């Protein structure tokens, strides 16, 4: 059994660059090739380690907001 690890569920929640994800249908062809290859050799595969690195997403969102507005307004 092969396990696809650290699969991002959101583009802002990636832990590393080029991390596989499932937030967009564009990943389907790549995962299909992977699954077909694994099955060809009689093995099983699971996508069980879905993660969202919320701190990364929070920083990315703040950085995006600052780029768009040129400032950051915080309500405390």
> Residue 33 falls within a domain, yes or no?
yes
What is the pLDDT at residue 74? 46
Taking only the tens of pLDDT, the chain with its 76 residues reads 888 877 887 777 777 888 888 888 898 899 899 999 999 999 998 876 666 666 666 666 666 666 665 554 444 3
> Residue 76 falls within a domain, yes or no?
no
Q: Domain limits at 41? A: 2-69
> Residue 11 falls within a domain, yes or no?
yes
Question: Could you please report the per-residue DSSP string of 30-56?
Answer: HHHHHHHHHHHTT--EE---EE--HHH
Q: How many domains does the chain have?
A: 1
Cα–Cα distance measured from residue 13 to residue 33, given in angstroms and rounded to the nearest whole number: 24
Cα–Cα distance measured from residue 41 to residue 19, given in angstroms and rounded to the nearest whole number: 25
What is the pLDDT at residue 70? 59
Give the residue carrying structure tokens 């990364």: 56
What is the pLDDT at residue 76? 35
Give the residue carrying structure tokens 């967009």: 24
What is the pLDDT at residue 11? 79
């Amino acid at each position: 059994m092969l396990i696809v690890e650290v699969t991002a569920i959101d583009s802002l929640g990636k832990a590393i660059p080029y991390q596989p994800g499932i937030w967009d249908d564009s990943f389907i062809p790549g995962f299909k090739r992977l699954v077909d290859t694994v099955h060809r050799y009689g093995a099983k595969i699971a996508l069980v380690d879905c993660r969202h690195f919320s701190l990364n997403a929070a920083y990315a969102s703040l950085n995006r907001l600052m780029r768009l507005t040129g400032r950051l307004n915080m309500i405390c």
